[in-house]
Amino acid sequence: MQQNQNFDIDLVDILLEKSKEIGIQVHLQHSVESIEKEQGKFHVYARKKEDITRFEADIVIHGAGRGPALDMNLEKGNIERKKHGVHVNEYLQSVSNPNVYAAGDAAATDGLPLTPVASADSHVVASNLLKGNSKKIEYPVIPSAVFTVPKMASVGMSEEEAKNSGRNIKVKQKNISDWFTYKRTNEDFAAFKVLIDEDHDQIVGAHLISNEADELINHFATAIRFGISTKELKQMIFAYPTAASDIAHML
């Protein structure tokens, strides 16, 4: 397993601890070299630096996602390719062949490899194919989530990025397992870290871990995208008891 740099390291450590408690063994910084099947068992060989470790398993599941199918002799179609996809302009049009457009993971853009990003790209491409190049791709702040137990979600800057940005950053961080939102559903653990630009009263990053994190992160994404101040968020009255009703107490 390779460490993901998109999620807050403090919450990742919590997730790893919780994973161990339910019997999951996590081996970081290992890359799979080969998988062999022998007498109904799978032998997985993984490398960490110069060392190879063999793991035995009843089943092997690939959960690392998919890469775009770009090995298609693109050069014959005069389609310039970069490391992470087709080299495109702001209209998602190939810079070398104007008859070709690319979206999602197939395009070399600043967008994250996420389904909603690919969907947004596809709308831009469809519009430009039908109406000419009139729509440019723009990536607003994009939340991401990992559907572990508990779930983990993130949007905006990491704590390190925020502190290195020159802003006056306030870090709000707390274990909220004892809040009613989580006690009523008997959740084992919930926590948050919210990063606030104090000079402008703006949220610049939010990091959550709980079974409601995947939904709750969208509220923080909206606040960051449209510049909703913490003062305004605290004035909101959300349905209760829901995870969103706790937002005011997280700011």
Please classify residue 230 by burial: count the beta carbons closer than 10 Å to its beta carbon, then call 0-12 exposed, 13-18 middle and 19+ buried. buried
Shared domain check, 202 and 106: no
Classify residue 164: in a domain, yes or no: yes
User: Two tokens at 56?
Assistant: 């035995």
- Structure confidence at residue 197 as a pLDDT band (50, 70, 90): very high
Is the model's pLDDT at 241 over the cut of 90? no
What CA–CA distance (Å, rounded) separates 43 from 64? 18
156: domain CATH number is 3.30.390.30
Cβ contact 209:191 at 8 Å: yes
Classify residue 139: in a domain, yes or no: no
**Mean pLDDT over all residues of the chain?**
92
User: Two tokens at 39?
Assistant: 């007498």
Average pLDDT over residues 123-135: 96
pLDDT in the model for residue 62: 84
Is the model's pLDDT at 4 over the cut of 90? no
- Helix residue spans in the chain (DSSP H): 9-21, 115-131, 159-163, 180-183, 213-225, 230-235
Classify residue 158: in a domain, yes or no: yes
**Number of domains forming the structure of the chain:** 3
Q: What three-state secondary structure class fits 33?
A: strand
> What backbone phi and psi angles, to 5 degrees, belong to 20?
-65, -35
User: Two tokens at 130?
Assistant: 């039908």
CB atoms within 10 A of CB 26: 11
CA-angle at 144, arms to 182 and 126, nearest 5°: 135
Classify residue 201: in a domain, yes or no: yes
Shared domain check, 201 and 166: yes
Question: 50 CB contacts (<8 Å, ≥6 apart)?
Answer: none
Shared domain check, 124 and 156: no
- Structure confidence at residue 67 as a pLDDT band (50, 70, 90): confident
pLDDT in the model for residue 100: 96
Shared domain check, 160 and 125: no
Per the structure, the complete domain to which residue 109 belongs is given by: 79-131
